[in-house]
Structure 1
Amino acid sequence: MKNLKITLAAIALASASFGSFAAELVNAQPSDLQKTGVITVSGASDLTSLENKLAAKADEAGAKSFQIISTTGDNKLHGTAIIYN
């Protein structure tokens, strides 16, 4: 049940625009970009910090966009995202 709540919250966050990172958070694969890999992060305290960590890692990888595909955890969150170029 907790994972379901976290996943729903991640989807809600994915629909918001944060614009502070070069890699743009998207809800689906952009039609003009190709999947270039998958990134993971862990140790986030909340969904916002999880998204920020994924965005920073996407930037490090040179991605133009990223899509969060999973989140898990209770006190320390783990997340996975697809990156696109």
Structure 2
Amino acid sequence: MKSIKTFAAVVALTVLPFASFAQSITATDTTIDGAEAQIAAQAHKAGASYKVTEANFNNGVHMTAELTK
């Protein structure tokens, strides 16, 4: 039982720094390139990299991304 608690504590402490920064950002534009350019600009301003997590196409583009340090 003690080893399970220790393992859980190690996992929680390892993931904590990543989870504390995870931030979602969104952008809308008429093209995929335009929306991604907005995401890239927001990530650059925050000094972070990004990963696109969602994009919808319906009379325009709505894109969501997650920033990571």
Q: What is the TM-score when the length of structure 1 is the normalising length?
A: 0.52
From 22, 44, 48, the equivalent of 1:59 is 44
Distance 1:55 1:38 in 2: 13
Structure of higher CA gyration radius: 2
1:47 CA drift (Å)? 1.0
In the alignment, residue 50 of structure 2 is paired with which amino acid?
F
**Structure 1 unpaired stretches of 5+:** 1-33
Over the matched positions of the two proteins, sequence identity in percent amounts to 28
Deviations 1:20-58 (A, max 9, x none): xxxxxxxxxxxxxx352111112x111111111110111
Deviations 1:62-84 (A, max 9, x none): 21x10000011322211100101
Question: Is structure 2 residue 23 aligned with structure 1 residue 40?
Answer: no
**Structure 2 unpaired stretches of 5+:** 1-17
The residue correspondences of 1:1-85 to structure 2 (distance < 5 A) are: 34=18, 36=21, 37-42=23-28, 44-63=29-48, 65-85=49-69
SS at match of 1:56: helix
Distance 1:46 1:84 in 2: 24
Query: What is the aligned residue count?
Result: 51
